């Protein structure tokens, strides 16, 4: 197959900027070239403007041999020959920051709905296999394997329990998933072991039809371990197969469940559909310690929507209220988005009036209970993906929902959400009157380019009337130009509308086997490149005055989620530290000065230089600089010389947003202004903190 796309090639020729020369504007990508790529289902090879590549970065690297290689673990000097100490700068928790554009999305709203300090794991984790909760109406307390594409995997999934000590077992109970028999294996075997190495099969079943509780009696036998192996999986939908159990119980002759975690049972599996690690304080501290000021959560529809319609349980979980308050008390604002699938399903079925009325009432019921803890209310999600939602239906939905939440006492801003930038659809809904009733326009922004050219500054994937279009079709040279045009369109209808990026990310993992197309490479950046991308993204959006940016997501809510700032083992990825570093330096109190190219002159090779000048209330300047080239672990930096025209400095420091360190810089004051020589510019922002005389 052949795919067409645009590649943004930075101008690598040395560029000199001085007061006497023509001033080149900063913050624009230099040139766009068209090219083609051939994909074979897993690899990408091609030739663009004479640059050949095959699954490796084209040479867009910053490679001054005098500069030092950059890592996240070993801080590097910001200036050649500078022997001043390199030390960590002070990191700020959320409560220490008045406000900022630092946001994060929590991908699994169940975490906020159900979590306490006793919660053993994320949704679907193996920790729920033996937590003793087999009958409650919480689907997140079910174990699930990862997804399998066929019913007989080459390596069958399994779950096992290691008992606190060997015991005589005689009865086994396998509880199916509470909403039906989905995920319960057709064929399975139960095996025991004394040492966890040598196994004996004690039960086999084929073509099994599960009941709610499935009890098996065996001759009393001593075991230190028990394992259930699913040899044939039940089909959930086309090419979707899971092994799922609500609970695994193993009883001894005295009727004691030796598998229960409270009795010392230790659960493990061949691989779950979630991160098996969860620790309440660590999870929330990963928000607070990153300096996050805004959290977006999508709260689940099940079982709350059904309970609302049935008039049953009329109260939200106490855990949800407590967790929202916990976030607020620690300086975090929470934006609420209710899972809109019931609304979408109702409209698709044609019962539009009923669907809108029920949805509005549900939002009002929700708002009445959490109104004091919500900073923004998001109505719907990616509405332009749903063709059944005409501008008139969207306007009716928003108006009725706003009426319901206002009657419930919620007084905060209301937002609507678009998948990617969609000029045509946006003009239609705003023209229909949506622009008069909302406060904020939320955007999901994804670049979806191969890993060796993807950059946050580029114009990425976009929509036209709800249809997805790839970056090759972009009429704009970069995202700054695209967003400026979009903002101008929106402001024509309502000049007071604000903006947010409520989803954005790049993935950190290798290209998955079987991936196809030129955009499969999007899933292949290194963890270090992901961190650079995040820092550049948040800073660039602040330069554009775009509003809060929300990385998708904080937690790894499915197996090996490549977006998560916390990985499946509970480790904070480098991108988490990048967010913490950005949050500790940039907040909304900063005033951005215009025309930075008339303040800062640059001499040396600085391809696609991005620069801004922010002024603090104290008069200090923060000057971030980076080269907008594709992120590459091999980038060594380029050495440049900076002149701040007509300015004398008292002190200069460099804040490295990748390593979280600072270093005092050497400089000189002269008739032309202050000079900082031999500065190392990177493919991620290093921020100059300047005190002027």
User: What are residue 318's phi and psi, to 5 degrees?
Assistant: -60, -35
For residue range 535-587, list pLDDT tens digits in order. 999 999 999 999 999 999 998 765 446 788 998 778 899 999 999 999 999 99
Cβ pair 540, 478 in contact under 8 A: no
Position 177 scores a pLDDT of 85
For residue range 83-102, list pLDDT tens digits in order. 999 999 999 999 999 999 99
Cβ pair 363, 410 in contact under 8 A: no
Mean per-residue pLDDT for 338-348? Answer: 92
Position 51 scores a pLDDT of 27
Structure token digits, residue 323: 């967790």
CATH topology (fold) of 95-116+276-585: TIM Barrel (3.20.20)
Residues in the chain: 693
Structure token digits, residue 544: 């554009």
Judge whether residue 674 has pLDDT over 90.
yes
SS3 label, residue 399: helix
d(CA 397, CA 391): 10
Mean per-residue pLDDT for 2-12? Answer: 28
Residue 136: pLDDT band (50, 70, 90) is low
Structure token digits, residue 133: 């909760």
H helices present in 126-272, as ranges: none
Establish how many alpha carbons lie within 13 A of residue 135's alpha carbon, considering only the half-sphere containing its beta carbon. 1
Position 200 scores a pLDDT of 97
Structure token digits, residue 358: 């029920």
Position 60 scores a pLDDT of 45
Structure token digits, residue 648: 């004398």
In DSSP notation, 467-479 reads EEE-GGG-SSSSH
* 360 sits in which H/E element: helix 352-370
Judge whether residue 448 has pLDDT over 90.
no
Least confident segment among 332-341, 345-354, 388-397, 448-457: 448-457
For residue range 253-281, list pLDDT tens digits in order. 999 999 999 999 999 999 887 767 788 99
Judge whether residue 466 has pLDDT over 70.
yes
Structure token digits, residue 393: 């239906």
Task: Check residue 63 and report its DSSP letter.
Answer: B
Mean per-residue pLDDT for 468-487? Answer: 94
Mean per-residue pLDDT for 215-241? Answer: 94
Please confirm whether the linkage preceding 56 is cis (ω < 30° from 0): no
Position 66 scores a pLDDT of 67
Mean per-residue pLDDT for 311-339? Answer: 92
Position 4 scores a pLDDT of 28
CA angle centred on 27, ends 26 and 33, rounded to 5°: 110
Least confident segment among 195-204, 358-367, 562-571, 600-609: 562-571
Residue 635: pLDDT band (50, 70, 90) is confident
Residue 70: pLDDT band (50, 70, 90) is low
Residue 110: pLDDT band (50, 70, 90) is confident
Judge whether residue 462 has pLDDT over 50.
yes
Position 244 scores a pLDDT of 95
Judge whether residue 511 has pLDDT over 90.
no
Report the chain's mean pLDDT, rounded to a whole number.
86
> Which of 474, 462, 385 lies closest to 422, judged by CA?
462
Cβ pair 511, 521 in contact under 8 A: yes
Structure token digits, residue 442: 């939320």
Position 523 scores a pLDDT of 54
Residue 314's contacts (CB-CB under 8 Å, 6 or more residues apart) are 307, 308, 365
Neighbours of 88 (CB within 10 A): 12
Q: Name the residue ranges covered by the structural domains of the chain.
A: 2-94+590-692, 95-116+276-585, 126-269
Position 7 scores a pLDDT of 30
Cα→Cα distances 607→531, 547, 688, Å: 20, 27, 19
Mean per-residue pLDDT for 354-372? Answer: 96
For residue range 391-430, list pLDDT tens digits in order. 999 999 999 999 999 999 999 999 999 999 999 999 999 9
* 100 sits in which H/E element: none
> Which of 691, 520, 663, 671 lies closest to 680, judged by CA?
663
The label of the residue with tokens 């009429």 reads 475
According to CATH, the superfamily of the domain at 126-269 is Galactose-binding domain-like (2.60.120.260)
Position 207 scores a pLDDT of 97
SS3 label, residue 528: helix
Judge whether residue 195 has pLDDT over 80.
yes
Position 373 scores a pLDDT of 98
SS3 label, residue 655: strand
Mean per-residue pLDDT for 337-347? Answer: 93
For residue range 17-62, list pLDDT tens digits in order. 223 334 456 888 874 433 333 333 333 333 333 222 233 333 345 6
Residue 63: pLDDT band (50, 70, 90) is low
Position 11 scores a pLDDT of 26
Residue 68: pLDDT band (50, 70, 90) is low
Judge whether residue 326 has pLDDT over 80.
yes
Judge whether residue 498 has pLDDT over 80.
yes
Position 16 scores a pLDDT of 28
């Amino acid at each position: 197959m052949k795919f067409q796309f645009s590649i943004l090639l930075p101008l690598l020729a040395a560029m000199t900027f001085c007061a006497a020369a023509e001033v080149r504007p900063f913050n624009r990508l230099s040139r766009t070239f068209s090219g083609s790529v051939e994909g074979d289902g897993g690899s990408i090879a091609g030739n663009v403007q004479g640059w050949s590549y095959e699954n490796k970065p084209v040479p867009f690297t910053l490679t001054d041999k005098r500069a030092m290689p950059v890592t996240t673990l070993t801080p590097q000097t910001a200036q050649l020959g500078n022997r001043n100490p390199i030390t960590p700068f002070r990191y700020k928790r959320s409560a220490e920051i008045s406000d900022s554009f630092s946001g994060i999305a929590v991908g699994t709203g169940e975490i906020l709905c159900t979590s306490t300090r006793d919660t053993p794991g994320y949704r679907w984790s193996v920790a729920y296999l033996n937590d003793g909760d087999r009958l409650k109406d919480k689907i997140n307390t079910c174990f699930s394997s990862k997804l399998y594409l066929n019913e007989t995997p080459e390596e069958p999934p399994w779950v096992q329990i290691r008992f606190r000590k060997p015991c005589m077992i005689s009865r086994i109970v396998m509880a199916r998933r509470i909403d039906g028999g989905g995920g319960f294996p057709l064929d399975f075997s139960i095996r025991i072991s004394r040492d966890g190495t040598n196994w004996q099969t004690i039960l086999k079943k084929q073509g099994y039809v599960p009941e709610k509780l499935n009890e098996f009696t065996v001759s009393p036998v001593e075991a230190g371990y028990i394992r259930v192996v699913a040899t044939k999986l039940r089909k959930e939908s086309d090419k979707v197969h899971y092994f799922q159990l609500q609970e695994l119980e193993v009883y001894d002759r005295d009727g004691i469940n030796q598998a229960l975690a409270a009795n010392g049972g230790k659960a493990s599996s061949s691989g779950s559909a979630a991160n098996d690690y969860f620790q309440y304080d660590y999870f929330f501290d990963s928000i607070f310690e990153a300096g996050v000021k805004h959290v977006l959560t999508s709260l689940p529809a099940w079982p709350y929507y059904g309970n609302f319609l049935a008039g049953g349980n009329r109260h939200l979980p106490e855990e949800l209220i407590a967790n929202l308050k916990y976030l607020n008390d620690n300086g975090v604002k929470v934006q609420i988005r209710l899972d809109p699938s019931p609304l979408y399903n109702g409209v698709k079925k044609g019962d539009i009036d009923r669907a809108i009325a029920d949805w509005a009432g549900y939002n009002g019921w929700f708002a009445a209970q959490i109104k004091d803890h919500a900073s923004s209310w998001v109505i719907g999600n990616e509405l332009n993906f749903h063709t059944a939602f005409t501008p008139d239906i969207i306007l009716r939905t928003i108006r009725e929902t706003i009426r319901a939440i206002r009657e419930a006492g919620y007084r905060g801003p209301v937002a609507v959400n678009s998948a990617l930038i969609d000029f045509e659809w946006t003009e239609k809904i705003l023209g229909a009157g949506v622009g008069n009733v909302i406060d904020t326009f939320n955007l999901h922004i994804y670049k979806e380019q191969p890993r060796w050219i993807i950059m946050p500054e580029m114009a990425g994937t976009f929509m036209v009337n709800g249809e997805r279009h790839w970056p090759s079709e972009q009429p704009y040279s970069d995202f700054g130009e695209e967003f400026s045009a979009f903002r101008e369109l929106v402001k024509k209808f309502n000049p007071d509308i604000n903006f947010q990026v409520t989803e954005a990310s790049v993935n950190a993992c290798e290209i998955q086997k079987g991936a196809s197309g030129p955009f499969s490479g999007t899933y292949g950046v290194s963890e270090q490149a992901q961190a650079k991308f995040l820092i550049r993204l948040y800073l660039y959006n602040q330069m554009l005055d775009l509003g809060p940016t929300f990385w998708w997501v904080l937690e790894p809510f499915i197996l090996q989620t490549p977006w998560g700032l916390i990985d499946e083992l509970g480790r904070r990825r480098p991108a988490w530290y990048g967010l913490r570093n950005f949050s500790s330096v940039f907040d909304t109190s900063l005033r951005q000065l215009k025309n930075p190219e008339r303040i800062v002159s640059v001499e040396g090779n600085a391809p696609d230089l991005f620069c801004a000048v922010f002024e603090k209330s104290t008069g200090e300047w923060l000057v971030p600089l980076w080269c907008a080239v594709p992120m590459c672990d091999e980038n060594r930096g380029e050495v440049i010389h900076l002149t701040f025209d007509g300015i004398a400095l008292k002190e200069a420091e460099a804040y490295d947003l990748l390593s979280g360190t600072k270093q005092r810089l050497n400089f000189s004051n002269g008739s032309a202004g202050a000079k900082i020589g031999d500065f190392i510019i990177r493919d991620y922002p290093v921020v100059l903190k300047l005190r002027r005389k």
